[in-house]
Structure 1
């Protein structure tokens, strides 16, 4: 009893996980007590929680730590190039919400859905490969690595040149550019660049598609049909991308409050816009909305032409299939008609005495009967086949009424 009481305090610091009872015949060494210290379990739980959190962040693109961007000042000059900043500092510095950066962080994946978020003193835009934060005197151009286009690529270098010219008022239309605020010039540069890329992509797709459709008019082959299918898929993806941009502009034009909040320069100077006082930004958005709508219509016409061509090809293939079936039926009718001649020949060639071979007209009679039966069966089958071919919709309706 004394030894048992002394061993009980030693087990208080150990948490028993499982216990396998021992029988009387087994020795004491066969009994197992699996125990683990409590601090070890807490550490394993913390490591597991961190691992799951890291996987969750990696899956959805949140909380990656830093965001890389290039900053431009009010004169269009590069204020900072390829700067990496923590997302918490970026949110605190520019008055954003943590969820506003999800679109920028998710852009590391293929993301076709455009968005424009208007905040108190900034505009966060995600349009195709352009991810930018526009303020009254600053533009932050984010890096979109997921689309394969980085800040050092030739495409973004061209866009940066266009953006600098717009911000410095070095465009061909000096009067209109000087009348526009800083944030509108930045938005126009982004829309011009996106519209130029969409137009170039549309021309390439339409040229290739039209070439394939022209080739199919002369000859229908398997390779051409496969190429037409590929082009049709590309056209549908491009069409969906353009429709999303057009819908985004439609939503912006219908919301007066957002249009008024997009005047960042006026807000910085303390000028308050009323509900209908947004004609400049409305005209700017409507202009690019009309261009995008034109691209959508042309792409939709191309998709309609492809669909019409596919229907015509299906009709031609159905017609060819019907011709092959008709030819097979004609061969079947011919084989059925030969059955009469074969039947007469089999009767004439039997080893039974029929006294026909003793006459002078036996062979001629068998020949005439066999040929006559063959012709009669063939004409009867072809007439029945033509009667089925001439059946129209009107005849079908009459038969249904009689029935």
Structure 2
């Protein structure tokens, strides 16, 4: 980066081998898995190594050095094998170069991610210079001249990467929140919940859980670095390169930087948790409605079955008299007036017995549920009484010990 113009040098390097990546940046082969662009389910991590900082997110893989930052991007399978990712190097120089093979074909334009991160670094440097000029901050250099203090390049790159990552998460958070609000509003205003709304509820809930996991992983990665003072001291790559020793704890500027983004990630995670809670409440309400509807349908089915049984019992008598057999009642003048009430009485008796059995089963089920709830409440009360009694006994024992000690 040219400090006067804030221009940077960007170099696209295609098909970078893993061995070259390790040798040029001083990282260990075991760290290559973190930088593998083909593994999309890698958890967010911020690893500090000697002379380098490894930044890993599902959307960004980068190696931060004291004078440059390497962004790793996967090319299509037809253009690049998995073991040779394309890297873009953003450095401090204001020149532009391209390295690819043994010749120099036209350089492909950088991706939107690379351009956005480079622009963020420029804006951060310009903002820092503007703030320093306003407040008049100066620092003494070895040559005796006073210059405006500047943040190390590695911190600018780290802040640009974090800003880009959290901006992307913030956009996702806004989109998920809008989907949740629209879905819940539609479900609350419609009389019937459609299958499409239930399917969208599942999809939005899955998207919210994925976003919550990403926000928590990023926050955990930053918290892990903040809890390691030795790693925070190693993150001053420029001082380590120049042989400037730093004391453990002399990292207030880095701590403030990381703490700011930890709070940002925490707020995004809190928003995601609220969205998931709203969806879970809606899902619980839907489950209650479905359970109530299912119970009503079951009761209706049972009542229909009882009525069918009653008519079937009466139909047995009608079937007996309907057989083409001589029984002596064919010519009886009042047989009809006796048989019809008998059939009605038998049907009503069976219907009444079925309804009483259904009512008894419902009362028994409710009684069992009440007894279970009462037993659980009684057990909790007994446990609370036992804990209170044990606490009082401990207090009494302590008082006796204090009294005995004073007497002695």
1:114, 1:127 within 8 Å by CA — same for their partners in 2? yes
Structure 1 unmatched runs, 5+: 1-71
What do residues 251-310 of structure 1 show as CA deviations (whole Å, max 9, x unaligned)? 101101001111233334443222222222112111111111121122122223323333
2:221 to 248, 251, 254: 248
Counting matched residue pairs gives 326
Match 1:227 to one of 183, 193, 200? 200
Is 2:173 the partner of 1:215? no
| 1:383 aligned partner | 356
SS in 1 for 2:172: helix
2:332 corresponds to 1:358: yes
What CA distance in whole angstroms lies between the structure 2 residues aligned with 1:305 and 1:346? 60
SS in 2 for 1:354: coil
* CA separation of 1:290 and 1:172: change in aligned 2, threshold 3 A: farther
Q: Which has the higher contact order (CA 8 A, sep 6+)?
A: 2
Moved more, 260-269 or 195-204: 260-269
Equivalence for 1:57: none
TM-score by length of 2: 0.69
Instruction: Decide whether aligned partners of structure 1 residues 396 and 258 sit closer, same or farther in structure 2, where only a CA change above 3 A counts.
Output: closer
- What residue in structure 2 maps to residue 42 of structure 1? none
- Contact kept, 8 Å, 1:115 with 1:125, in 2: the verdict is yes
Partner of 1:161: 119
TM-score normalised by length of structure 1: 0.70
Q: Secondary structure at the match of 2:244?
A: coil
Cα separation, 1, equivalents of 2:56 and 2:369: 59
3-state SS of the aligned residue for 1:112? coil
Question: Closer, same or farther in 2 for the Cα pair 1:150/1:123, shift >3 Å?
Answer: closer
Is the counterpart of residue 103 in structure 1 residue 34 in structure 2? yes
Do structure 1's residue 315 and structure 2's residue 315 form an aligned pair?
no
Alignment of 1:35-184 (within 5 A): 72=1, 76-84=6-14, 87-104=18-35, 106-136=36-66, 138-145=67-74, 152-169=110-127, 180-184=151-155
Alignment root-mean-square deviation, CA:
3.3
Q: Which runs of 5+ in 2 are unaligned?
A: 78-85, 89-109, 138-147, 373-408
- Which residue is 1:56 aligned to? none
Separation (CA, whole Å) in 2 of partners of 1:292 and 1:178: 29
Displacement of 1:340: 4.0
Decide whether aligned partners of structure 1 residues 171 and 335 sit closer, same or farther in structure 2, where only a CA change above 3 A counts: farther
CA distance in 2, matches of 1:86, 1:398: 70
2:17, 2:44 → 1: CA distance? 24
Asked if the contact 2:120/2:160 (under 8 Å) is kept, the reply is yes
Q: How does 1:238-277 map to 2 (within 5 A)?
A: 238-277=211-250
1:71-110 deviation digits (Å, cap 9, x = unpaired): x566642224214565545544444434444433x12442
Taking the aligned partners of 1:147 and 1:207, their CA distance within structure 2 comes to 33
Q: 1: CA distance between counterparts of 2:322 and 2:29?
A: 100
- Alignment match of 1:336 (pick from 285, 288, 309): 309
Q: Give the distance between the partners of 1:233 and 1:287, measured in 2 at CA.
A: 28
Report the structure number with the largest CA radius of gyration.
1
2: CA distance, partners of 1:398 / 1:266 = 72
2:233–2:251 contact (8 Å) kept in structure 1: yes
Other structure's SS at 1:129 match: coil
Cα distance in 2 for partners of 1:147, 1:73 equals: 33
Task: Confirm or deny: 8 A CA contact 1:117 1:123 kept in the other structure.
Answer: yes
Determine the C-alpha separation between the residues in 1 that align with 2:28 and 2:329: 112
